Amino acid sequence: MLSSKIKNIIKKKNKKKIVCLTAYSKNVAEILDNHCDIVLVGDSLGSVLYNYDTTRKVSLGTMIEHSKSVKKGIKKSLMVVDMPYHTYRNPKEALKNAKKIIYETGCDAVKLEGGNKIIKIIKHLIKNKVQVMGHIGLLPQSQKGKFRFKGKNETEKNKIINDAKILSSSGVFSIVLECVEKSLAKQITKLIKVPTIGIGASVYCDGQVLVTDDLLGLNSTNFRFVKKYVNLRRIIDQSARLFKQEVIKKSFPKIKNSY
Ligand code: KIV
């Protein structure tokens, strides 16, 4: 049985774009909740918050603690949590960990990276009433070496199309397409019945997702697919500098800031 929140996401296909952003804490989630259909607790928190060189180092415990914080900021949007690396190596392990995530965080769904290769695992979760978001194209948990876009040659294209079809008919409620070439993203979006959510996968997807720290300009990363809507790094820098000046000059705290 699909929840009404999930049905609403699926209904948007071919009608309205789906808006998704990442959050790792309550304050950010609270703001995003006013604007997003989906808030994703992505394992990108490994690189964004912990400076890990790979998302493989993110643990289940870390994902759960951040998700508990995010949940406190969410009223309306659908909350999805990434299952970290090595927490879904077989159907039994995946179900145990997905249930733990859902039970401890109160999220609506989990996201797993992979297509045909993990289809038995995904089907087992769905059969056991776990709502699943798919993720194909570039898979950070499996990627070795430099990130590059997917769909360059026929073999790669056919594999991604096949993954999308298999996932869609398995019952996932949406699929993230990461760094997928635009004509391929367009073709997949037309072909499958569930919404595609793109990151670096063109305007043709049914929705878009970005890492919030990237669009806020908090990261020094410079991916082609990211648009920085504000330079929060600069704003924080200016605020800290001003605070320092005022503390030194003793113009802060004022009477109104004191008891
Ligand atoms: O981990 C993450 O934030 C993600 C998004 C980039 C889709 O998987």
pLDDT at 106: 98
Question: CB of 137 within 8 A of CB of 189?
Answer: no
Ligand 1 geometric centre to CA of 242 (Å): 34
Q: What is the mean pLDDT of residues 152-163?
A: 95
Q: Is the CB of 44 under 6 A from ligand 1?
A: yes
Write the pLDDT tens digit of every residue in 5-27. Answer: 999 999 999 999 999 999 999 99
pLDDT at res. 60: 98
In short, whether 22's Cβ falls inside 6 Å of ligand 1 is: yes
The pLDDT-based confidence of 222 (bands split at 50, 70, 90) is confident
Q: What is the structure's pLDDT at 1? A: 79
Residues 110-138 have a mean pLDDT of: 98
- Indicate which residue of 154, 178, 181, 246 is catalytic: 178
Interval 88-103 mean pLDDT: 98
From 18, 19, 21, 22, mutation site for ligand 1 pocket: most ligand atoms within 8 A of C-beta: 22
Ligand 1 proximity of 139 Cβ (cutoff 6 Å): no
pLDDT at 192: 98
Nearest atom in ligand 1 to 113's CA = 8
Mutate to test the pocket of ligand 1, among 43, 44, 175 (most ligand atoms within 8 A of CB): 44
pLDDT at res. 220? 82
- For residues 193-214, average pLDDT: 98
178 is catalytic: yes
**Percentage of residues in the chain with pLDDT exceeding 70?**
100
- Ligand 1 centre to CA of 108 (Å) is 16
Alpha-carbon distance of 213 to 236, in angstroms, equals 13
Tell whether ligand 1 has an atom less than 6 A from the beta carbon of residue 198: no
Per-residue pLDDT band for 122 (boundaries 50, 70, 90) equals very high
Q: What is the pTM of this model?
A: 0.97
pLDDT of residue 152: 86
Would you say residue 238 has pLDDT above 90? yes
Question: Which residue has better confidence, 1 or 182?
Answer: 182
Q: Is the pLDDT of residue 139 over 80?
A: yes
Average pLDDT over residues 113-138: 98
Structural domains of the chain in order of their starting residue, each with its CATH number: 4-228 (3.20.20.60), 231-259 (no CATH)
Cα 201 to middle of ligand 1, angstroms? 13
Ligand 1 mean position, distance from CA 237 (Å): 27
Average pLDDT over residues 161-178: 98
Chain mean pLDDT for the chain: 97
Using pLDDT thresholds of 50, 70 and 90, give the confidence band for residue 147: confident
Ligand 1 centroid to Cα of residue 215, in Å, is: 13
74-87 pLDDT per residue, tens: 999 999 999 999 99
Res 145: pLDDT: 76
